[in-house]
């Protein structure tokens, strides 16, 4: 008799290790869903989301430094006339007690040139630090000099934002710093939902990723960017598969509905089953709903399962949910599924008998038709 897959009893009998028999060798493990199992599994699920961790955030104060190639303007003020820069009284008229220095580009060596102050190091310093250095150098020649240094055009410290954004662009880091979300916003924002958008940050030879929805919710995941960073935004839908005694493909939302994408950052087993159309009322066994995944051995050990017979970091695991119980839907609605999970709904034991009797009815119907035809001729 053809079937969509094994029934509930066959799956249970095939398990070589279950929670109540932890001493057996492990081929796959089966766990009945209960509050303790749900809590342990969900704790692992919440920790699996991609998060920035390997690359540290730059300090906000460090992002205002002048770099090689930047254009700076310098204005020097003197307290009274007759000093180094301001003519004495009665000389040519000059508006104000200041003199602007022509804009300069920071040389490859990192220095700029200031009259009567010489070569001043600019790269790696803030405008305030540069101004203080120039004023100190002029203090012996000018009258109480005060210096203002401004960044006219930032040509260093660029950040590239690429990928699934509305307007890929190259940005300059503001003196106050540039955070990840601000950079994405200035690139037009993401074109996909935050729960299926992965943000990749490349800094030097290091690369790390985070889910955009996690960056929005957690301040520690919204780092300051550093000069030379590349931010790549990509759409990576997460999905699960529903097999077995669920509505046939095409009856729910399209021609092939066995593979479903997540609708938000997280989905529960109950939500996933509902999106797949629920259980087929004429075939499904509500007490035999199974979820297949590769589970962390740490979670299984925490639950008391002996996984010494398995050498990998993950163990093939089947979670069993009984939706025929009164509390089954509460538990299923608390159990969070993961990307790549497989949900299988077994057939009720009576379905095979129904198929067999249907086949017999067809055979006897054909025989009766043949006999009637022969009798007529």
- In tens, the pLDDT along 100-119 reads 889 999 999 999 999 888 99
Task: List pLDDT tens digits, range 350-361.
Answer: 766 666 666 666
Mean pLDDT in residue range 167-178: 84
Q: Which pLDDT score, from 0 to 100, does residue 60 have? A: 46
Q: Report residue 277 as tokens.
A: 């159309």
pLDDT in tens, 258-316: 888 888 888 999 999 998 888 888 888 899 999 999 999 899 999 998 888 888 888 99
In a domain, 369, yes or no: no
**pLDDT tens digits, one per residue of 181-218:** 999 999 999 999 998 899 999 998 888 999 898 899 88
Question: How far lies 376's CA from each of 80, 369, 370, 371, 373, in Å?
Answer: 131, 11, 10, 9, 5
Starting at the earlier edge strand, list the strands of the sheet with 239-244: 17-18, 29-32, 314-321, 284-296, 342-347, 239-244, 259-261
In percent, how much of the chain has pLDDT > 90? Answer: 35
**Average pLDDT over all residues of the chain:** 82
Q: What are the angstrom distances between the C-alpha of 313 and each of 33, 84, 100, 299, 308? A: 22, 74, 66, 11, 11
Q: Please say if the pLDDT value at position 334 is more than 70.
A: yes
HSE-CB for 265 with a 13 A CA cutoff? 15
Q: Are residues 148 and 207 in the same domain?
A: no
Q: Can you give the CATH number for the domain in which 192 is found? A: 3.10.560.10
Identify the band that residue 254 occupies on the pLDDT scale cut at 50, 70 and 90: very low
Answer yes or no: is 362 within a domain: no
In a domain, 44, yes or no: no
Give me the residue label for tokens 């050990």: 301
The answer to whether residue 242 is domain-embedded is yes
Q: Which of 270, 275, 237, 236 is nearest to 258 (CA)?
A: 275
* The domain boundary residue, chosen from 235, 253, 273: 235
163-167, 253-257, 303-307: lowest mean pLDDT where? 253-257
Which residue range(s) make up the domain with 183? 156-235
pTM above 0.75, yes or no: no
Cα 152-76-149 angle, rounded to 5 deg: 30
One domain for residues 78 and 93? yes
In a domain, 45, yes or no: no
Number of folded domains that form the chain: 3
My answer on whether 218 and 243 are in the same domain is no
Residue 340 has pLDDT above 60, yes or no: yes
Among 183, 203, 235, residue at a domain's last position: 235
Give the pLDDT mean for 130-142. 89
At residue 344, what are phi and psi to the nearest 5 degrees?
A: -125, 130
Q: What are phi and psi of 111, to 5 degrees?
A: -115, 155
Q: What percent of the chain has pLDDT over 70?
A: 80
Report the distance separating Cα 356 and Cα 92, nearest Å.
113
Domain C-terminal end among 122, 153, 184: 153
Flag whether pLDDT at 149 surpasses 50: yes
Contacts of 287 (CB under 8 A, 6+ apart): 8, 322, 323, 324, 325
């Amino acid at each position: 008799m053809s079937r969509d897959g094994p029934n509930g009893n066959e799956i249970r009998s095939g398990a070589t290790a279950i929670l109540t028999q932890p001493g057996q060798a492990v081929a796959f493990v089966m766990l009945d869903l209960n509050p303790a199992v749900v809590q342990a599994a969900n704790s692992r699920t919440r920790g699996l989301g991609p998060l920035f961790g390997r690359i540290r955030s730059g300090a906000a104060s460090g992002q205002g430094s002048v770099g090689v190639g930047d254009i700076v303007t310098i204005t020097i003020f003197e307290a009274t006339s007759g000093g180094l820069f301001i003519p004495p009284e009665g000389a040519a008229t000059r508006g104000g007690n200041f003199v602007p220095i022509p804009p300069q580009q920071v040389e490859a060596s990192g220095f700029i040139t200031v009259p009567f102050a010489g070569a001043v190091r600019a790269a790696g310093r803030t405008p305030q630090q540069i101004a203080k250095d120039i004023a100190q150098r002029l203090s012996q020649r000018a009258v109480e000099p005060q210096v203002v240094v401004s960044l006219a055009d930032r040509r260093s410290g660029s950040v590239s934002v690429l990928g699934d954004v509305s307007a890929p662009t190259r940005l300059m880091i503001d003196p106050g710093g540039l955070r990840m979300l601000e950079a994405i916003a200035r690139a037009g924002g993401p074109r996909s939902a935050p729960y299926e958008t992965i943000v990749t940050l490349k800094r030097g030879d290091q690369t790390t990723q985070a889910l955009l929805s996690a960056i929005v919710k957690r301040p520690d995941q919204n780092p300051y960017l550093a000069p030379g960073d590349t931010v790549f935004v990509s759409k990576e839908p997460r999905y699960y598969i529903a097999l077995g005694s669920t509505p046939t493909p095409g009856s729910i939302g399209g021609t092939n509905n066995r593979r479903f994408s997540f609708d938000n950052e997280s989905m529960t087993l109950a939500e996933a089953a509902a999106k797949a159309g629920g259980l087929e009322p004429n075939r499904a066994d509500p007490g035999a709903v199974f979820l297949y995944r590769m589970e962390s051995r740490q979670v299984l050990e925490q639950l008391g399962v002996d996984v010494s017979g398995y050498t990998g970091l993950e163990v093939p695991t089947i979670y069993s949910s009984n939706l025929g119980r009164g509390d089954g839907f509460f538990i299923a609605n608390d159990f969070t599924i993961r990307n790549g999970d497989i949900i299988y709904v077994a057939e009720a034991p009576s379905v095979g008998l129904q198929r067999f009797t249907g086949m017999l009815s067809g055979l006897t119907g054909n025989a009766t038709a043949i006999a009637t035809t022969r009798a007529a001729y």
